[in-house]
Each structure stands twice: as C-alpha cells, then as structure tokens.
Amino acid sequence: MKHHWLAWVACAATALAGGASAVWQGEEQPRYQVESLRGRVVWASEAMRRLHGVESDADAAEWLIVLETPSGELHPLVKDARGRAFYKDERLRQMDLELLVRRYPGTPLLKVIRVYRLRDGAKYELDYWCDVCAITMYELKECECCQGPIRLRETLVKP
C-alpha cells in the first residue's frame, strides 16, 4: 500500500512538471516545421550498408531507425511515444509509409506525429486498437486497460 502511494506521488510530480514546461513552451514561437515525408522505415545500419557500403558496429544493428525516401535520403527518427512503434513492430518496417513529422532547427532528427500506410493508391492512418476497451494506442504492447492483445489498425483517410 505504501508503495502505491509513493508511485502516485511520483506520477503527480511528473504531471505537474510536464504542465509547467508546456506553459513555458506555449509562450514561445513554435520552433519546428511540419512536413510529410514518404518512404520506408529501416534500421540505419542496414541502410548505410546497402546504400553506401558503410559497416556499423554489431551492437548498433538495431540502434537507430530512419525513414528512407525513394531517392535514398535517410532521416533519423526520434524514439518517443510515436517513434518507438517502429522499434517494436517489424510490420511497420515492411510498408510504404507517409510520416507527418516535425523538423527542428539544427538537427536531422525528426519527431513523428502521425503514421500513414500507402497501399493500392490509398492512404490509411495507422495506430493500435483494443477491440475490448475501444481505446487507441501508438505502440505494440498489451492493452493499457485490459492487458489483452491489441491490433494494428488501418483507417482509410478520405482524399
């Protein structure tokens, strides 16, 4: 019981800190650009070997995820609530995708905002869905609510 109480205090403190920082950021101009990029998400080490003959250390094989555009540009993706999905679900690394991303000044790292699959001339928004709880998640895991299995969901985006 004591343990639970401590966990709650830690959670509340994090939420407060997050709120304060959000207010502070809101007073500034947005310092990012929103872009849509198409391609496939791959491991950086594999792409560097295939495209440029550059070998990475063995322990870097699955270290960094990048978006590879059709022209061979490699855009590294931040590993966060959205970017993490590409590390955990290999199906996402076998699809033609369009990513809505934020680009920040002075860094090649892109933050993923939305993920779309391009298939048969149509565009589908990708997320994860629990049929029991009817809630959306953004990475492959047990349901946050019922701990049951969730499924990768494709929702057609109307043109």
Contact residues toward Zn ion (CB under 5 A) are: 130, 132-133, 143, 145-146, 148
CB of 112 to Zn ion, least distance (A): 24
Q: Which CB sits closer to Zn ion, 46 or 127? A: 127
Strand partners, 66: 42, 76
Nearest CA to 128 out of 145, 111, 106 is that of 145
Q: How far apart are CB 149 and Zn ion at their closest, in Å?
A: 9
Nearer to Zn ion, 37 or 135 (CB): 135
- Identify which of 92, 81, 80, 106 has the alpha carbon closest to the alpha carbon of residue 43: 92
Q: Name the residue nearer to Zn ion (CB basis): 62 or 142.
A: 142
Distances (CA, A) of 82 to 11, 17, 48, 101: 21, 21, 23, 10
Nearest-approach distance from CB 89 to Zn ion, in angstroms: 17
Smallest distance, Zn ion to C-beta of residue 155, A: 18
d(CA 143, CA 153): 14
Cα 2 to Cα 19: distance, rounded to the nearest angstrom: 26
Rounded CA gap, 10 and 25, in Å?
A: 23
Of the two residues 67 and 137, which places its CB atom closer to Zn ion in the complex? Answer: 137
> Given the complex with Zn ion, which of 42 and 130 has the nearer CB atom?
130
CB of 133 to Zn ion, least distance (A): 3
Amino acid found at 16: L
